[in-house]
Structure 1
């Protein structure tokens, strides 16, 4: 950091550390033990899409990579039928693209490897500035630990690419409402497993995120 940055109180952006995603399987065990939430098998990468053939080809490369991995090792309990791709692309109301990957719920390690690979491919192709976040979805059985009521709730652990941090996002079904108390509980529970984002204003709601009821 330069002298002028120090005087003005500016800091350089944190260099993204994608390997922090590999902390998710251990965090999932802590989460299940403490709240009852378990993985759904769904994860997603959110990025700002750009026009052009290069980006379109890259999206195809990502799909091809994960399709090949799914064909080579579909894993037990895979939800997709024979020949089905584990990858889908959707757009939200703000124009961002969500690449969603679905794996067997019990195979979180493969899902995390997929998310890491997608982020790495986009980064290596020069689209790092377009990356916003990645998330891994969890759910609590109805009436189970962590739900707090007789309704199921959805939970995501969100990785902020440019911050290198995680935060929990818990949405209520069919509402644009969040369970903030549970989010704080989960953050405290996982502070030794993941680097939790300290700035609560950066715990964005992500209402259109795939796999969340909100």
Structure 2
């Protein structure tokens, strides 16, 4: 399943009907302690980047909302040094990508951005928040699905293969610390376009 197929599934009728758990942006703060556990128990360091993915609406009000999100991130960056950029991928999905060597600042910035979308009535446009980790050349991600209100691990090997044994290891270690999606059919792969790239690139 490719990136487009993954998002199509997330946005499809089945995903809508199965989204029985309302996403709570406060869930994102669970990642603050997860960063510590990933480092202490699994030797994974922060990749110093995180991302928020959302689909757009062709309206002036939505454009104003995106501008407000950027204003919030700009103001926050003046205090924390967190940098951000926004781009639209080849499938028409929008990404806010954040860079900071302090994981706490990444979590806070993603939360601020997501909360602004929700407060302005566009929570349904939020797809996923991604937090990246690295260890000895390997990459792993915790992905928060706004459709399901839960996290799941993703460990890509290249652009079309995933390390499922590592994903299950991440699940076993972080279970109880994060709200983890218990239906593995919803562990959608968000493939990077290049072997050493991130899904948001």
Q: What TM-score do the two structures reach when normalised by structure 1?
A: 0.78
Cα root mean square deviation, aligned: 2.2
Match of 1:42 among 43, 46, 49: 49
Distance in 1 between the 2:112 and 2:184 partners?
Answer: 28
- Is 2:144 aligned against 1:164? no
Q: Give the gaps of 5 or more residues in structure 1.
A: 1-9, 79-85, 143-151
Aligned positions, number: 182
Compare the two structures and name the one with the higher helix fraction: 2
| SS in structure 2 at match of 1:126 | coil
Q: Give the gaps of 5 or more residues in structure 2.
A: 1-16
Q: What TM-score do the two structures reach when normalised by structure 2?
A: 0.82
Residues 137 and 212 in structure 1, CA contact (< 8 A), matched pair in contact too? no
| SS in structure 1 at match of 2:48 | strand
CA deviation vs aligned residue, 1:164-183 (integer Å, no higher than 9, x gap): 1100111124x321111100
Q: 4+ residue runs of structure 1 moved beyond 4 angstroms? A: none
How do 1:1-214 and structure 2 match up within 5 A? 13-74=20-81, 86-104=83-101, 107-140=102-135, 142=136, 152-173=137-158, 175-208=159-192, 211-212=198-199
Structure 1 window deviating more from structure 2 (10-19 vs 30-39): it is 10-19
Bigger Rg, which one: 1
